[in-house]
Structure 1
Amino acid sequence: MEAAQTNNQRGSSRKNPTLESLFARDSVSENEKILSLISHCIIIFTCTDPSESPSQQELKRQNLIDLLSIIKASKKPLHDQVISPLMAMISANIFRPLPPPSKPSSSITADLDLFPDNEENPISKLSRMWSHLQLVYEILLRLVINTDTRKLGPYIDHPFLVSLLSLFQSEDPRELESLKNVYHRIYSRFTLHRSFMRKAMNDVFLNYVFETERHSGVRELLEIWGSIINGFTVPLKEEHKLFLMRVLIPLHKTKGMQGYHRQLAYCVSQFVHKEPVLGGVVVRGILKYWPVTNCQKEVLLIGELEELVEIIDTDQYRKLALPLCTQITRCFNSWNAQVAERALYVWNNEHFVKMASMAMEEVFPIVVEGMERNLKWHWSKSVRQLTENVKVMFIEMDQILYSKCLEEIKRRESTARQAEIKRKEKWDRIEMAAAKNHRFVQQKQPPYIFVSH
């Protein structure tokens, strides 16, 4: 028995090195294959140069597919000797000069159907490269998700992150989506870089708001920020409150706000959800940047204010009632029917009505005057009907106060009419005196002598 056991141990000792050597050979062959694929993929094709071979472009695409498949299927982490050339290949492919912007400002729509496939369109040019870029971004994302941060640390540094952030100016929405996923994953895994990444994104926003008003990736960056804000702990740090006041609120003033308003409103509401006392700062900031001639922005901002009223601290209702109701009254007096209707629908919100009821003495005169002006002068039948409905609600809230407001309106109108009559009479006296003076001057002037040559 002992001899048999000894023989078995010797046999197993002879087998183990063989298995280890096989695994080592597999690992070496896999690394060699990856390096071979990387060497083919590092060649850059612009896809616009006629001298470039279509077959070579297709070969590169196939090599990228094979490389992605190997990285996905690999159960072991990539070897250090592979990571360095792989990151060099990724950088060579994605960090490139972008086409000149075709839009005057803001984020572009994600709907590719809006952009015809022609030679003059930067997106159509970029779409030819997308068959390669898409795979490179997928490789980078897989690398960030699966590789130990200590191994990737030397390659994903501040210059790499700045270069990655600069690509958010691409006008291809598919690339922006890939960039968003990669940048967000890096933020979640590389905790050491989080502060730098937040500051870098803030610089992009500030440059957009106060300098250029031209950037294609604002919407995607705000989506990243929405996730970041969601993870903030309460009480909020002063740094984060400053971001709200100095960056997010001024983003409401740009011409292209419609392109990213949903993401912006979500970020702002997350702050107010975490600390409802910030609602007052946000509401006053939005009122400060209220548009004068952009009706679409007005409709969006009215909706945002309505949502904020539902989540802000009720202790602030009385302070905010007057400025909010004043702006809403201006909006439902707008000659644009969409703005007027949206502002009138606000009064269906019980939170908004509750806020107004806390300062009825101040709010009623302004709102009642606005409603009476609508009923008398507004051109839209639907606006007049909605105004009538709101009027009924206000009368039910406090009929006596409503009557007082009407009497005050009539008194002011009477005073204004009397002032207008006096002004007209005064001008009539001035004109009569001027006419008399003119006749007197004409009588005093000597007759003219005309001499013909």
Structure 2
Amino acid sequence: MIPLHKVQTTHIFHEQLLRCSMLFLSKNHALAIPLMEGLLRYWPFGNSVKETLYLTELQEVLEVCELAKLEPLIPKLFKRLARCISGPQLQVADRAMCFFENDYFLGILRTFKQVTFPMVVPVIVELAETHWHKILQESLNALKVILKEIDPVAFDRALQTGSRDLARANSLGTMHNLPARATTEAKWDALAAKAKAIDPRFKAPCVPYVDSHVVGLNNMNGIMLTSQNLIPPT
């Protein structure tokens, strides 16, 4: 079952795959842990649709897991959720936030709070102050209150000892760091020049993050949108 999650077209048959997985788990709950390990190990990158499907399946599988056997996976699980919540993709972040609406999940959070709070609390607090989407920011503020009500002492301790770097690293402000992006683009230009020297027929790929492309406008470079920059450069 796990290898079927790895294929690029999983989204086409994921509903049937999820149903089949849950049927297996209904026969033997012990299979929930290996399945969760597989989901966390083969987590998709750069594919928000597939990430959302993985989160949906992860939540369903989580409810079948025995709490005692779940402990070794707690760090990986909450690290992944923190990354999803702090990521730039709104649907993925919103779906990850849905975990905190589940009583069983909150029970896991409370049971392993010595591990989970330092991983989650700093990220939630940082995003509650800085997230770009107003509605999700309100949800993050509500979640911050819930976490503090669960254990005020653990909340304050996690806030002091935990790191907000994950939320800051994934924030739009960091990704829109124009000097850093210019440095990266210069490296790609140098690589393209070397490739051109080796093979004169080499053509550099079209990069969307340039001034003459509309994607560049959406990445805060201040270029006015006109009919001239709707088409990527050739």
SS at match of 1:379: coil
Larger RCO of the pair (alpha carbons < 8 Å, separation 6+): 2
Tell me if 1:377 matches 2:130. Answer: yes
* Contact residue 310 and residue 351 of structure 1 kept, 8 A: yes
Tell me if 1:280 matches 2:17. Answer: no
* Contact residue 295 and residue 339 of structure 1 kept, 8 A: yes
Task: Work out which of the residue numbers 392, 395, 413 in structure 1 matches 2:145.
Answer: 392
Counterparts of 1:354 and 1:271, CA distance in 2: 25
TM-score, with length taken from structure 2:
0.66
Unpaired runs of at least 5, structure 2: 166-234
SS at match of 1:366: helix
Amino acid in structure 2 at the alignment position of 1:392 = V
Corresponding residue for 2:61? Answer: 308
Task: Work out which of the residue numbers 265, 270, 276 in structure 1 matches 2:23.
Answer: 270
Corresponding residue for 2:51? Answer: 298
Counterparts of 1:294 and 1:266, CA distance in 2: 22
Q: Bigger radius of gyration, 1 or 2?
A: 1
* Contact residue 317 and residue 355 of structure 1 kept, 8 A: no
Deviations, residues 23-70 of structure 1 (Å, cap 9, x unaligned): xxxxxxxxxxxxxxxxxxxxxxxxxxxxxxxxxxxxxxxxxxxxxxxx
Deviations, residues 311-361 of structure 1 (Å, cap 9, x unaligned): 122322323322211111111111111111110111001111112222110
Deviations, residues 112-142 of structure 1 (Å, cap 9, x unaligned): xxxxxxxxxxxxxxxxxxxxxxxxxxxxxxx
Counterparts of 2:7 and 2:140, CA distance in 1: 31
SS at match of 2:63: helix
Counterparts of 2:153 and 2:54, CA distance in 1: 33
Counterparts of 1:302 and 1:324, CA distance in 2: 11
Change (3 A) 1:299 1:393: same
* Contact residue 122 and residue 164 of structure 2 kept, 8 A: no
* Contact residue 291 and residue 297 of structure 1 kept, 8 A: yes
Amino acid in structure 2 at the alignment position of 1:338 = Q
Counterparts of 1:391 and 1:312, CA distance in 2: 26
Amino acid in structure 2 at the alignment position of 1:292 = F
Task: Work out which of the residue numbers 92, 103, 111 in structure 2 matches 1:339.
Answer: 92
Change (3 A) 1:404 1:252: same
Deviations, residues 62-118 of structure 1 (Å, cap 9, x unaligned): xxxxxxxxxxxxxxxxxxxxxxxxxxxxxxxxxxxxxxxxxxxxxxxxxxxxxxxxx
* Contact residue 123 and residue 164 of structure 2 kept, 8 A: no
Corresponding residue for 2:11? Answer: 258
Amino acid in structure 2 at the alignment position of 1:254 = V
- After superposition, the CA RMSD in angstroms is 1.8
Counterparts of 2:49 and 2:140, CA distance in 1: 21
For residues 185-264 of structure 1, what are the structure 2 equivalents within 5 Å? 248-264=1-17
Corresponding residue for 1:356? Answer: 109
Counterparts of 1:340 and 1:317, CA distance in 2: 23
SS at match of 1:311: coil
Offset of 1:409 from its aligned partner? 4.0
Corresponding residue for 1:208? Answer: none
Moved over 6 A (4+): none
Counterparts of 1:316 and 1:394, CA distance in 2: 24
SS at match of 1:260: helix
For residues 49-128 of structure 1, what are the structure 2 equivalents within 5 Å? none
SS at match of 1:404: helix
Aligned residues: 165
Offset of 1:282 from its aligned partner? 0.4
Offset of 1:362 from its aligned partner? 0.6
Corresponding residue for 1:402? Answer: 155
Corresponding residue for 1:367? Answer: 120
* Contact residue 318 and residue 358 of structure 1 kept, 8 A: no
TM-score, with length taken from structure 1:
0.35
Counterparts of 1:358 and 1:409, CA distance in 2: 18
